[in-house]
Amino acid sequence: MQGTGTAPLSSYAFAEAAAKAGLPAGIVNLLTDTGPEVREAIVRDPRVDMVALTESVRASVQIMELAAASVKRGALEPGGKSADITCEMPTRNRRSR
C-alpha cells in the first residue's frame, strides 16, 4: 500500500489494524513515499503478481501500461478518492414475495 500524501496517518492506521487483525506478513505492505518512482517500481517488480491502486486517471493509464508489459493483473479505481474495503456480510433470512 502506497500511503497518501494528503492524509498519511490513515495509511499507518490501516496497516496497523491489518497487523492486529492477524493478517500474515506480506499481505499488506505500507510504502511511505508517494512519488511516481515508487509506483513504477512496484509494477515492474517481478515478485509482484497483482497491482491494486486508487490513483488519478493519468497515473492509472501509466500503471496499466506498465502492468500489461509483464502481464500482471490490475485493479484500479481511476480518479477515485474513496476506495472501498469489502467485508463478508451477515446472511439474512428473507422470504421471497
* Domain match, 19 and 55 both: no
* Domain match, 49 and 15 both: no
Give the mean pLDDT of 29-49: 80
Give the mean pLDDT of 7-35: 84
Q: Is residue 96 part of a domain?
A: no
pLDDT at 1 (0 to 100): 72
Name the burial class of residue 67, with classes exposed (0-12), middle (13-18) and buried (19+) by CB atoms within 10 angstroms of its CB.
buried
Give the mean pLDDT of 17-38: 83
CA–CA gap between residue 94 and residue 75 (Å, rounded): 33
Give the mean pLDDT of 3-22: 84
* Domain match, 15 and 53 both: no
| Residue 69 belongs to domain spanning | 35-81
The total domain count for the chain is: 2
CA–CA gap between residue 25 and residue 47 (Å, rounded): 15
* Domain match, 21 and 41 both: no
CA–CA gap between residue 10 and residue 97 (Å, rounded): 43
| Rounded percentage of the chain residues whose pLDDT exceeds 90 | 7
* Domain match, 45 and 25 both: no
Cβ–Cβ under 8 Å, residues 49 and 72: yes
Q: Which residue has the cell 508489459?
A: 69
pLDDT at 95 (0 to 100): 57
Read off the pTM. 0.52
pLDDT digits (tens, 9 = 90+) for 59-91: 778 888 888 888 887 777 666 566 566 666 666
20 pLDDT above the threshold of 90: yes
pLDDT at 79 (0 to 100): 64
